[in-house]
């Protein structure tokens, strides 16, 4: 009678141990899958470091810099730009006088897209106007 009771307890302990190991393994696989799918869930990210949106410039040359994450393609005004191993980018661009809208587009390997716009103003320096006169000076 004691032997039968002992075998029931041993079988129940094995069942509990097996169930616990199965649940731990399932949790580990689930957590790993969730962590690896971050890139798919989040999609591409663009952070523009410089210049700030709405900035005013007195020189036409401006450097657009920032960081891109989870991107397979990135472009500035439909021209492809490149990122380094850490996702940083830096591009020089000439502004036209007045209001300029710059568009950064990025796409990840799953086809998710993100668009960021940057509005900048270039104030061209005032040129001194020279007035021509047909009368000689001093008359």
Contact assessment for residue 48 and residue 66, using Cβ atoms and an 8 Å cutoff: yes
Residue spans of the domains in the chain: they are 2-32, 43-122
d(CA 6, CA 13): 11
In contact, 67 and 47? CB cutoff 8 Å: yes
Cα 101 from Cα 45, distance rounded (Å) = 20
In the predicted model, is pLDDT for residue 63 greater than 70?
Answer: yes
pLDDT at 44 over 70: yes
pLDDT of residue 32: 80
Question: Hey, which CATH number is domain 43-122, 2.60.40.10, 2.60.40.3880, 3.40.47.10, 1.10.287.130?
Answer: 2.60.40.10
Residue percentage of the chain with pLDDT more than 70 = 81
Residue 45 has pLDDT above 80, yes or no: yes
Give me 13's structure tokens: 């302990």
Residue 138 has pLDDT above 60, yes or no: no
pLDDT bucket at 7, cuts 50 / 70 / 90: low
């Amino acid at each position: 009678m004691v032997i039968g009771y002992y075998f029931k307890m041993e079988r129940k302990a094995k069942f509990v141990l097996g169930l616990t190991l199965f649940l731990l393994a399932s949790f580990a696989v689930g957590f790993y899958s969730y962590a690896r799918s971050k890139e798919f869930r989040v999609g591409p990210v663009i952070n523009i470091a410089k210049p700030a949106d709405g900035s005013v410039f007195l020189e036409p040359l401006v450097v657009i810099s920032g960081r891109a994450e989870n991107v397979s393609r990135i472009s500035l005004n439909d021209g492809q730009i490149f990122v380094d191993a850490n996702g940083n980018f830096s591009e020089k661009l000439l502004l036209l006088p007045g209001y300029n809208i710059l568009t950064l587009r990025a796409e990840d390997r799953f086809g998710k897209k993100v668009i960021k716009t940057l509005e900048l103003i270039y104030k061209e320096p005032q040129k001194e106007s020279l007035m021509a006169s047909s009368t000689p000076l001093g008359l």
